[in-house]
Structure 1
Amino acid sequence: MTLVFAAVLLLACSTHASGSGRRLSDGDGVVASDKQLPPVRQSVKTLGPALGAYSFMAALMDGNETWCGGTLIRSKAVLTAAHCLDNEDGTYWRPSSVRIGWADLRYRQTGDEQISVKRIIVHPSYKRAPEVTEYGSDFAILVLERRSKKRPITLSRPGSKLKAGAWVWAAGYSNMGKKYGTTANWFWTQVNSPKTCVRKYREIAGGKLRESTRTICTGGQNGRHEGVCSGDSGGPLIYGDDPGPYIQVGVLSWGLGPSPCAPGAVGVNWWASLLYPPHRKWLARKLKKLG
């Protein structure tokens, strides 16, 4: 089995069980029950010809190519995964720019933004590790040269929790088996308990994984097909149904499955958790300094 860790978006190949479709709450407390299941939907869809309420979506650019996603969290700050910037030689790479609010990276529409990156801030506990399971606090902040006019996503509040089984959704510019991703896609998935994450890792990879609240693990329930594709590491895990609010609870760090974008593959994915209090406090301190 292969660990897929550089720039991943999750490719779901099935639909969910149905539910009442009741709109989710603001994400402040313990959430998830059978009554909160979203209605049956196509598992992977584009966010639409114009992102609108999802215009917090960001793509890290190297010229006209993207390899990781992110989210606008303040007018001059984009949150992504630290491993997206890791040169693996003790240095970090700074993207030339980020594109914010683009539904399709091939076509610029009115209101789409492209802003240069001034500097990067990497979480001090992020580890350059030979195994993706040891990444730890896989966060980085991109400080922008100028303010974005887009509306930032809301971050989970301190003390927020998610129960196992909670429905969340993932979004990013997956390459969907192509060389580079171009369109913003999303799909629903469910949260696993830490114990379930350890068990699923053992079942798929045949190895050991320590229980951790530093990460959120999603996917693989009831054999639903959720593989991974290159293109979305650094992208958000979001709690909240239409019309919002949308609460970001994690950043895509790594995934586990037979191969990238494998049709019919049951994949499990790990997210650096914004529900882990030290992570949230670090982010709050950095954003306060940025003003």
Structure 2
Amino acid sequence: MFKPLHAALTALGILALSACSTQSTPTPEAALPAAALPAESLTVTGTAPAFGDLSSQIVYGTVTNVTNRPYQVSVTPSTELAGGWCGGTLISSTWVLTAAHCVDGYSASSMRVRAGINNLTTSTGQLRTAAQIIKHPSYNPSTYANDIALIRVSAFTLGSTVQTAALPGNAVEAILDVNGKSATVSGWGKTETGASSPTALREVTIPITPTGSDCGTRPANTICGKYSSGKDSCNGDSGGPLAAPYNGKFYVLGAVSYGPAECRGYGVYTRVNGFINWIAQNTGIAAQ
């Protein structure tokens, strides 16, 4: 999968989506959201480890479905509904969590949120026009600091394929978001930089850490997706959920933010727990 499916990334070493491959530290010009440029315009830069055939995987992930990931939604401008752009997480029937770079520069009336779909080309599922977009006031498009946003929509009908993910409070965070734990990232992002975007929902489970230098220098309140056999999110996955199960619930630990252009590991995710108070203030939704 690939990070920001914001179709707007340039071929700079790092994309705003999830993470890609090398341990490069993003620079202002390189750390562009993968969602910013069309997938076709992305090229691989830097040196990446050699891997076998990626076939049609998310980057060593697998095809999944919204019954497994019912909190997964797609976030797309009305002009891009046929393709991938960004992902998001349903945190209530009316609120979606995503990355700020996915909605930066767009009006609420131009953005669409789709829930309950496995394939981007389907006409099934539930489609909503955004009623309000709230970007974090300290979002920095040059460094991807505070890369988080909220989208309000008219209520989705919850069911087996459309459900909310829980927000992690400090107690849950201390259990799930620690070095040595793993979490699952999902989306419709590229299966590798330079490849066409898949239309089927995919997922991949990766080791994570809130500390350490695996992903290089990165903004505060982020999670590093450590290297694991090249598994990663990629362009088009931006804003999508990094989630883990606990006590019968799925908790959204992070939102795909950026990573090396090769999409082979070391992706960076906005750490949701670091913005719990901001989310509650704007939505009324508390950590669980």
What TM-score, normalized to structure 2?
0.70
SS at match of 2:281: helix
1:167 aligns with 2:152: no
CA contact under 8 A between 1:4 and 1:228: conserved in structure 2? no
2: CA distance, partners of 1:74 / 1:193: 25
Q: Which has the larger radius of gyration?
A: 1
Percent identity, please.
24
**Offset at 1:219?**
2.2
Q: Counterpart of 1:58?
A: 73
CA contact under 8 A between 1:233 and 1:253: conserved in structure 2? yes
SS at match of 1:283: helix
**Offset at 1:181?**
4.2
The counterpart of 1:214, out of the listed 218, 221, 243, is 221
1:191 aligns with 2:195: no
Greater RCO, CA 8 A, separation 6+: 2
Number of corresponding residues: 228
1:82 aligns with 2:82: no
CA contact under 8 A between 1:158 and 1:280: conserved in structure 2? no
The counterpart of 2:259, out of the listed 234, 237, 255, is 255
Alignment of 1:65-76 (within 5 A): 65-76=83-94
RMSD across aligned positions (CA): 2.9
Q: Counterpart of 1:138?
A: 147
Alignment of 1:105-184 (within 5 A): 105-109=120-124, 112-129=125-142, 134-149=143-158, 150-159=162-171, 160-161=173-174, 162-176=177-191, 177-184=194-201
CA contact under 8 A between 1:174 and 1:183: conserved in structure 2? no
What TM-score, normalized to structure 1?
0.69
Q: Counterpart of 1:101?
A: 116
1:231 aligns with 2:240: no
**Cα deviations by residue, 1:37-60 (Å, 9 ceiling, x for unpaired):** xxxxx9411113xx2242211001
**Offset at 1:128?**
2.5
Q: Which runs of 5+ in 2 are unaligned?
A: 1-11, 17-32, 40-50, 53-58
Residues 152 and 220 of structure 1: CA distance in aligned 2, closer, same or farther (over 3 Å): same
Letter in 2 for 1:189: I
Q: Counterpart of 1:204?
A: none
SS at match of 1:226: coil
1:286 aligns with 2:282: yes
CA contact under 8 A between 2:206 and 2:232: conserved in structure 1? no
The counterpart of 2:250, out of the listed 222, 246, 257, is 246
Q: Which runs of 5+ in 1 are unaligned?
A: 15-41, 202-208, 261-265
**Offset at 1:174?**
1.3
**Cα deviations by residue, 1:31-80 (Å, 9 ceiling, x for unpaired):** xxxxxxxxxxx9411113xx224221100123323310001111111110
